């Protein structure tokens, strides 16, 4: 398969033709130079054809056709669709660029992770903010900060109307859409989550309290249904040394995507999974499941 060895651009097929595929995944992968967009496939052929034309590639007539022409597959589809299609790509030996959450239920997430492990393919998560220099500097500083407690929030009004106010985001709410970002950062900055409690309604406002290994406590506030002019998001650590904070408002996604693309291509070429791989996605899914289970609140 061309587009996998040496320094040639990695050949990537794109699954999905919705807002994220059109504004982020597609343009970033098509821009290269580390990747080459081979085709777009979506369950709506007309949408796939429109996006493929915009990106200078073609629309695959079937998912199998897409798999036949690439070394890696990027998913920009709802989590349950991703969980159904990604194992087929893994069985075909394709590297996977996965969105978060990796599924809508724990069994499907485990099935995806098992397929990746069984077939030995590279995987990587689109936890976008993790690819920004300021996030990486924050996490490096957090390792030596001596955190006692932390507060984090991710608040916006995208679920009140517009392209994001549809489907699984409305039924599952902020917990599944925004929760992976904050849970990932809290876990990375404070250590593994050993206790977890939730209060509220994920479709309106939900509060998560995490107790981390070592005793630090974090409080995470999530909502996609508040009328703010722009999102308000970030995390702040507190301890004997004072405060260490990361404001997501300073994280420009245009600086994240080139890093993500380059690191995904490097992982595909080397065969070595990225640190943010499907196993990280499964860990986050296990936390989401703990919150969703009866008696968890």
Give the pLDDT score at 2. 47
Residues in the chain: 297
pLDDT per position as a tens digit, 119-165: 999 999 999 999 999 999 999 999 999 999 999 999 999 999 988 88
Task: Go through 105-143 and write b for each residue having 16 or more CB atoms within 10 A of its CB, e for each that does not.
Answer: bbebbbbbbebbeeeebbbbbbbbbbbbeebeebeeebe
Q: What is the fold, at CATH topology level, of the domain defined by 10-129+254-276?
A: Rossmann fold (3.40.50)
User: Which pTM was predicted?
Assistant: 0.94
Q: What percent of the chain has pLDDT over 90?
A: 91
Mean per-residue pLDDT, 187-200 = 97
Predicted pLDDT of residue 48: 98
pLDDT at 95: 98
Q: Among 3.40.630.10, 3.30.360.10, 3.10.20.520, 3.40.190.100, name the CATH number for the domain at 133-251.
A: 3.30.360.10
Q: What is the pLDDT of residue 164?
A: 81
The answer to whether residue 100 scores a pLDDT higher than 90 is: yes
Average pLDDT over residues 283-296: 84
Domain ranges of the chain: 10-129+254-276, 133-251
């Amino acid at each position: 398969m061309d587009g996998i060895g040496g320094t040639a651009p990695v050949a990537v097929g794109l699954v999905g033709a919705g807002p994220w595929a059109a504004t982020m995944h597609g343009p970033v992968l098509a821009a290269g130079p580390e990747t080459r967009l081979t085709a777009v496939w979506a369950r709506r052929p007309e949408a796939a054809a429109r996006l493929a034309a915009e990106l200078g590639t073609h629309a695959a007539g079937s998912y199998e056709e897409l798999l036949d022409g690439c070394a890696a597959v990027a998913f920009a589809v709802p989590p349950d669709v991703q969980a159904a299609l990604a194992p087929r790509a893994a069985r075909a030996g394709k590297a996977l660029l996965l969105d978060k959450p990796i599924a809508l239920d724990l069994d499907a997430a485990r099935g995806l992770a098992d397929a990746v492990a069984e077939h030995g393919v590279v995987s990587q998560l689109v936890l976008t903010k993790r690819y920004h220099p300021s996030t990486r500097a924050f996490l490096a500083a957090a390792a030596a900060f001596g955190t006692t407690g932390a507060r984090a929030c991710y608040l916006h009004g995208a679920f009140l109307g517009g392209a994001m106010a549809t489907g699984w985001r409305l039924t599952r709410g902020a917990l599944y859409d925004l929760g992976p970002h904050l849970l990932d950062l809290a876990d990375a900055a404070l250590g593994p989550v050993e206790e977890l409690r939730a209060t509220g309604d994920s479709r309106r406002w939900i509060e998560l309290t995490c107790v981390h290994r070592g005793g630090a406590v974090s409080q995470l506030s999530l909502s996609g249904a508040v009328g703010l002019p722009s999102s308000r998001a970030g995390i702040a650590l507190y301890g004997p040394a004072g405060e260490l904070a990361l404001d997501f408002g300073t994280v420009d996604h245009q600086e994240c995507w080139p890093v993500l693309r380059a690191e995904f291509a490097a992982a595909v070429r080397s065969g070595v999974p990225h640190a943010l791989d499907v196993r990280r996605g499964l860990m986050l899914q296990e936390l989401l499941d703990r919150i969703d289970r009866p008696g968890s609140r």
